[in-house]
């Protein structure tokens, strides 16, 4: 009975999405229902998190079929932590949405697609089956296609074509990679693959399949050289949609890399993980170059997703316990702070009516709270000590030091500096300066925008200041990731 808990984070948002589709025109009702449903779902997930932390992974064999034959849902501490983070971001998005969406957009099934996105992301985190992971990828991508064109402006349509095309192509590559893997090991269950991979004679073909899967997930996660599709499409939709995308979608890609390369393809780590280290370094460099290259504030934040993904990949590439705990910590931190930043930038763009940094000045005179929140989130993002970005990066780079990879440490530290520069540039140009008397101040709108951001930043600050409470769980996850036998045994029940 208790194993049914694993399916709740998928089922609740799915039912919510279907339910809200029936009366999409009654906005006040839909809004309040959406708020209640996300909060309920988050509380349920929190309960599961506490249960998993106490008793170990919850494993559900759907339909009662034994491990390798049916679809298995595995809610271990890593996946349930990420689902919890997803739902926290979901709450902020639902409370932010009424302020930022137009009435027409809200009527046009926004909340349905939002809940389906949460379903897809939670499903991708929880599934224990490679083909099922593909299906959940498609669930979240389909919802994201609908959200990215919501509104249907000229630019939006243009950019979403590129977004759909690149994702369609990488999905087909994913299917091909699964087909290859099926022909080699004859199963699609992750634990069963991991067990059979150990007995495969020709490791070369497995490395090839591993790299193919890495390219698929790397496209989803926006790694160098596969990130080119990301920045523009992320700037065109409504800010709340951008926040959901920036916080969740790339992180599903990085989670898949983390899962697949700590569980299945661990036979040739010399080659694969050196390769990852190079990719991670280049991702960092090109991401920060992009962030510094533009005056469009939405684009600056979108480019900042890329170095963050690079940091997480460093942890996977170094592949020891310290660095993996850093990756997990950084993953949680980055999901929250990226959502907060996109929401903040969305508020700034809404209040000033422009995305061009050069046309803004002196916003801090009109909106002091917004300004200081932005300042705080820049510091959190760059990893200034009391806040959450610091601990993740510290662990990552400490892990790199332990393995003697000095070069990547230097690149990582420099990249952090440049990330801070790119964010502070927004703060200095948009918020400082003389008071602009011509602007019409809209305090009420600003207040509606800031509340969800305060909610998210509370978690960011808590992750940093209360690290002693969180960090043991993260270390537990890292330990678990270093020992894939635990996963295999708990799923296959030998």
Minimum distance of another protein from residue 414's CB (angstroms)? 26
> 274 in helix, strand or coil?
helix
Q: Is 161 one of the binding residues for another protein (CB under 8 A)?
A: yes
Q: Enumerate the β-bridge partners of residue 75.
A: 58
Which residue do the tokens 């389909």 mark? 142
> 356 in helix, strand or coil?
strand
Minimum distance of another protein from residue 73's CB (angstroms)? 17
| Paired tokens of 369 | 């709270």
Minimum distance of another protein from residue 81's CB (angstroms)? 28
Cα-based distances in Å from 345 to 235, 242, 397, 477: 10, 10, 29, 33
Whole-number Å distance between alpha carbons of 115 and 90: 9
Among 24, 196, 232, 365, binds another protein (CB under 8 A): 232
**Measured from the CB atom, is 205 or 461 closer to another protein?**
205
Q: Is 62 one of the binding residues for another protein (CB under 8 A)?
A: no
Whole-number Å distance between alpha carbons of 419 and 427: 13
Whole-number Å distance between alpha carbons of 440 and 352: 9
**Measured from the CB atom, is 164 or 394 closer to another protein?**
164
Among 3, 171, 320, 442, binds another protein (CB under 8 A): 171
Q: Is 182 one of the binding residues for another protein (CB under 8 A)?
A: yes
Q: Is 157 one of the binding residues for another protein (CB under 8 A)?
A: yes
Minimum distance of another protein from residue 35's CB (angstroms)? 29
**Helix 368-382 crosses helix 388-402 at what angle (to 10 degrees)?**
10
Site residues (CB under 8 A) for another protein, limited to 269-308: 294-296, 299
Site residues (CB under 8 A) for another protein, limited to 322-361: 355-356
Q: Which stretch binds another protein (CB under 8 A): 154-162, 195-203, 216-224, 397-405?
A: 154-162
Whole-number Å distance between alpha carbons of 9 and 177: 28
Among 154, 204, 434, 440, binds another protein (CB under 8 A): 154
Among 25, 26, 104, 158, binds another protein (CB under 8 A): 158
Cα-based distances in Å from 214 to 47, 189, 224, 257: 33, 18, 12, 7
Contact (CB, 8 A) for 88 and 339: no
For 173, residues 6+ apart whose C-beta sits below 8 A from its C-beta are 212, 215, 216, 219
For 76, residues 6+ apart whose C-beta sits below 8 A from its C-beta are 52, 56, 57, 480, 487
Minimum distance of another protein from residue 348's CB (angstroms)? 15
Minimum distance of another protein from residue 383's CB (angstroms)? 28
CB neighbourhood size of 289 (10 A): 15
Minimum distance of another protein from residue 403's CB (angstroms)? 37
Minimum distance of another protein from residue 342's CB (angstroms)? 18
CB neighbourhood size of 451 (10 A): 12
Minimum distance of another protein from residue 211's CB (angstroms)? 17
Q: Is 152 one of the binding residues for another protein (CB under 8 A)?
A: yes
> 405 in helix, strand or coil?
coil
Residue 79: φ, ψ to 5°: -65, -40
Cα-based distances in Å from 204 to 39, 193, 296, 473, 489: 48, 16, 45, 36, 26
Q: Which stretch binds another protein (CB under 8 A): 20-28, 162-170, 195-203, 309-317?
A: 162-170
Annotate each residue in 107-146 with x if it binds another protein (CB under 8 A) or - if it does not, as one string: ------------------------x--xx--x--xx--x-
Among 143, 188, 194, 408, binds another protein (CB under 8 A): 188
Minimum distance of another protein from residue 3's CB (angstroms)? 24
What residues line the site for another protein (CB under 8 A)?
A: 131, 134-135, 138, 141-142, 145, 149, 152, 154-155, 157-161, 164-165, 168-169, 171-173, 175-176, 178-180, 182-183, 188, 232, 294-296, 299, 355-356
């Amino acid at each position: 009975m208790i194993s049914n808990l694993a399916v709740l984070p998928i089922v609740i948002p799915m039912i919510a999405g279907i339910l809200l589709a029936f009366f999409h025109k009654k906005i006040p009702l839909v809004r309040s229902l959406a708020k209640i449903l996300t909060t309920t779902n988050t509380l349920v997930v929190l309960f599961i998190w506490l249960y998993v932390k106490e008793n170990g992974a919850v494993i559900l064999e759907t339909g009662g079929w034994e491990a390798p034959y049916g679809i298995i849902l595995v809610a271990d501490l890593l996946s349930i932590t990420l689902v919890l983070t997803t739902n926290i971001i979901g709450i902020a998005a639902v409370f932010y949405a009424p302020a930022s969406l137009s009435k027409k957009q809200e009527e046009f099934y926004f909340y349905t697609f939002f809940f389906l996105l949460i379903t897809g992301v939670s499903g991708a985190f929880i599934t224990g089956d490679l083909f099922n992971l593909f299906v959940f990828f498609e669930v979240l991508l389909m919802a994201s296609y609908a959200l990215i064109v919501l509104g249907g402006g000229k630019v939006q349509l243009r950019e979403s074509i590129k977004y759909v095309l690149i994702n369609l192509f990488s999905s087909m590559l994913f299917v091909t990679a699964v087909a290859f893997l099926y022909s080699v090991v004859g199963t699609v269950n992750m634990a069963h693959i991991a067990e059979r991979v150990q007995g495969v004679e020709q490791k070369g073909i497995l490395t090839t399949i591993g790299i193919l899967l890495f390219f698929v997930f790397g496209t989803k996660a926006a790694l160098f050289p596969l990130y080119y599709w990301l920045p523009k499409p992320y700037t065109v939709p409504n800010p709340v949609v951008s926040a959901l995308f920036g916080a969740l979608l790339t992180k599903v890609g990085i989670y898949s890399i983390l899962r697949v390369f700590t569980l299945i393809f661990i036979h040739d780590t010399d080659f694969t993980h050196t390769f990852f280290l190079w990719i991670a370094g280049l991702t960092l460099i090109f991401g920060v170059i992009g962030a510094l290259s533009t005056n469009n504030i939405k684009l600056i934040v979108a480019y900042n997703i890329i170095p963050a993904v690079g940091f997480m990949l460093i942890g996977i590439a170094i592949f020891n316990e310290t660095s993996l705990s850093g990756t997990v910590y950084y993953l949680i931190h980055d999901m929250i702070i990226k959502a907060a930043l996109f929401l903040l930038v969305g508020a700034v763009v809404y209040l000033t009516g422009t995305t061009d940094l050069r046309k803004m000045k002196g916003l801090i005179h009109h909106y002091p709270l917004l300004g200081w929140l932005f300042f705080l989130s820049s510091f959190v993002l760059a990893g200034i000590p009391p806040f959450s970005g610091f601990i993740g990066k510290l662990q990552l780079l400490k892990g790199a030091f332990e393995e003697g990879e000095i070069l990547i440490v230097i690149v990582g530290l420099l990249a952090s500096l440049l990330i801070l520069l790119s964010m502070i540039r927004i703060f200095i140009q948009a918020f400082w300066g003389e008071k602009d008397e011509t602007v019409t101040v809209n305090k009420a709108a600003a207040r509606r925008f800031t509340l969800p951001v305060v909610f998210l930043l509370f978690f960011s600050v808590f992750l940093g200041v209360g690290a002693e409470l969180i960090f043991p769980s993260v270390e537990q996850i890292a330990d678990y990731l270093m020992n894939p036998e635990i996963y295999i045994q708990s799923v296959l029940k030998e």
